[in-house]
Each structure stands twice: as structure tokens, then as C-alpha cells.
Amino acid sequence: MQMLVSSARGDWGTMSPKATTPRSSAHPGALPGLAEPVGPRFPIVGIGASAGGLEAFTELFRNLPPDTGMAFVLVQHLDPSHGSRLPELLSSKTPMTVTEATDGTSVAPNVVYVIPAASDITIQGGVLKLTSRPLSGQHLPIDSFFASLALDRKTEAVAVVLSGTAADGAAGVRAVKSEGGTTLAQDPGTAKYPGMPESALATGAVDFVLPLPELARQLLVIARHGNPAATSPGAPDVRVISAEDPHLVDVLDLVRSATRADFSQYKQNTIMRRIGRRMMMQHTESMDAYLDLLRHDPLEVEALYQDILIRVTSFFRQPHVFETLKEAVFPQIAEAQTEGQVRFWVPGCASGEEAYSLAMAWAEFWGENHVDKASFQIFASDINQQVIDKARTAVYPEHRFRRLARAAG
């Protein structure tokens, strides 16, 4: 079998047969989704830390006022055999209410919730869900919470990675970024333990990398523009973009000139939301000002392009589709194919999980039915060069394969 992956911005590249079996990496992937959000609408900030976390939390909240209009959920790696003193210690550093999270709590703004020891935490419909920490296996509480937060709050999700070792939080920031949320990381040079911030940065999904005082100020900017109730007098709501704005066509023309990607027929609401998000990050108050920035900053054009693209994918993301392929489609292909290669094409393959899922599904069908036919070939393409590069490596989080094994029985 051969896998060919291509970007609309580059040539086709061939993956060797040895690379067609996805390999695992130490970095965890996005977790399964939860229900659509039903809770009250305000930004929720998930903050992950490990070693050095107490000092990082303390400095961050020392620089935040008590009335941001945001809720904060702190997820720290804790010794499961000892209770956490973080609520007590942090209460003396911030005027906000600091409390240990409990199962079934509806999250409220201007409150800090701390994960209990020996627990994992997620959020669904604005309500915190606690489960017992697994006794064995890799423990990734930050990724787990960030992934659920991304699905629950979408563009109002904020993920922050602070001091810590290893890579927990890296996959989580990708999940938040994929759903249109905002991602931040402590500047590794200022972190007591830089491993976690560096792992988050390696994903390419972090919007802001800042020392803690500046990170706190950036959270205030996000609160001001993302939560109308917290908007200060005279602060522009740059997230509201009119479809009739005459500069919109010029913005898309600049993106097309730089990337060859024509978004003029793309979902208009998505386009306007992503432009508004980039304007907020760049502190520009009008489309005219943002257009001028794009004309003089090629990196911002690329950043807008990456923000517009949708990169959400996973292995066997829609299981019923693959069951239909195996039961209804593959038998017809096998029956009709008498010689030569069977060829598949996966357009919009993102980081490749869907293409490899197709390969696994066909190989399984082939093996189960002893189909004595010629070899097969899968073509996979995507407009985004960054995700194509990821697909070519065929390296994926070990965590995702454990989920596949559990789902299989």
C-alpha cells in the first residue's frame, strides 16, 4: 500500500509503505467530545500547571482584578494521596473566591475553581464533572479539561499553560484553538519548569507567549472583548464584523494573493468571526486598521489564514460512516475490481487521521474477507501545508490509540 499526501500549496509527496501505519508519540491527543454548551455565556479560562504551579498561579492572580467577568478552573498535577492546599494558599493572593471544585457545580464568573486531588475534571453545559483519577496509565488531567472546555465554550474557551514538566496541555491547546478559542502559554524563559509551555508552543497552536504579568493583562483584553458585560466604556467590540464591510473583500484578496486560497465563498460567519478574533489579538479597532496591518505584515496574513482553516479531526471520527463503508461500499469495490490498484482519495485530510482510518478499515475488510485483489493506494490532500506536514510524519499520540482499543472492546 502507498499513501500520497498533498497540499494545494505544494507538490504531491509519497509516504513509504513503512510510514502508512500511524505511530504513537508521547504527546496526547484531543479527547472525545461532550454535549453542546447549554450554560450561561461568559469566558471560562482553564489553567494548567504542574511543577512550579503554585508560584505561577500566585503571580498570575496577583495581577488580575476581582471582576474580570471570567471563570477560572485550575488543573494541577497533584499527589493523589494528599489533599490540595491550593485553595487555601491562593485565597490570600486574590480577592476572587477560590474554592475546590465539586461534582455538579455550575461555573460562575469571578470564581476560581481548583481540581481536587485524585480527581479528573471536565466541563459540560457550564457544569463541572469530577471522576476518580485512573489508578494506572498516563494521567493527563489538563488535556482532558481543555478538550471538554473547547467543546463546551467554543470561542469563549481560553486555555493557559503554565510551569510544569512533560507535555500535558499540549493537545488541549490544539483542541481549544481548533474550536476557535484562545490559547496562551507562560514564556518558557520565565517558568520554573519550562517543559509544559515548550510542549504547548511546539504544537503551533498557542496565540500568546508571555511572562505572567503580561499574560494577566492579555486575559483582561480577552475578557473585555469577549464578554460584553465586562466591556469598559469606549472599548471597541472588535469581534463584531459586518458582512457589508467594504474592507472584507480586500482582506480576503490579500489572503488569496499570499496563499492561493480563495475564501470568498467560504462560510461567512466563520470568516467574520476569525477576522474579529485576529483583530482582538492585534488590538486593532477597525477593519481599515486591520487591513493596513495585513498589507505590512505577511506573518499576520499567514496567521489569519491558519485561523480560518478548520483542522478538527480524529481517528474514525464518524464510526457509522466507516461501518457503512465496510458493509455496503467495500464489497462492491471488491466485486468490481478484477485487476490493477484500488485507489481512494481523501480530500481535506487535515493531519491525516481520516486517511489512515480509511486504510485501516479497508485492510480490516480485506483481511476478514480474504479478498485476493491487487494492492491499493490512498491519496490524501489538504489546502493547509502545516497539517500536511503532520500527516506525512504518520506519528500520532499514543493516547488516541488507547481510546481506539477501548472502543474496539
- The CATH code that applies to domain 44-230 is 3.40.50.180
Mean pLDDT of 82-105: 89
Mean pLDDT of 265-285: 81
Report helix angle 247-259 to 268-281, nearest 10.
90
Residue 202: the pLDDT is 82
* Beta pairing class for 111-114 and 71-76: parallel
- Reply yes or no on whether the pLDDT at 14 is more than 70: no
* pLDDT single digits (tens) 310-358: 666 778 877 888 899 989 999 888 887 766 678 899 988 888 888 999 9
Residue 116: the pLDDT is 92
- Any idea which of 18-27, 110-119, 288-297, 310-319 has the lowest mean pLDDT? 18-27
- Reply yes or no on whether the pLDDT at 105 is more than 90: yes
**Domain-by-domain residue ranges, the chain?**
2-26+314-407, 44-230, 247-308
Distances (CA, A) of 79 to 76, 130, 245, 318: 10, 16, 54, 37
* pLDDT single digits (tens) 175-195: 898 788 899 999 999 999 999
> What predicted TM-score, i.e. pTM, was given to this entire model?
0.64
Distances (CA, A) of 196 to 66, 184, 219: 27, 12, 19
Report helix angle 141-153 to 170-178, nearest 10.
10
Residue 38: the pLDDT is 43
Binning pLDDT at 50, 70 and 90, where does residue 234 land? very low
Mean pLDDT of 107-117: 95
Q: What size, in residues, is the chain?
A: 409
- Reply yes or no on whether the pLDDT at 106 is more than 60: yes
CA-nearest of 115, 127, 175 to 150 is: 175
CA-nearest of 239, 219, 243, 223 to 231 is: 223
Contacts of 310 (CB under 8 A, 6+ apart): 178, 350
* Active site residues per annotation: 50, 77, 168
* DSSP-derived 3-state class of residue 366: helix
* 257 burial via Cβ count (<10 Å: 0-12, 13-18, 19+): exposed
- Reply yes or no on whether the pLDDT at 25 is more than 80: no
Distances (CA, A) of 354 to 152, 303, 315, 317, 328: 24, 25, 6, 8, 19
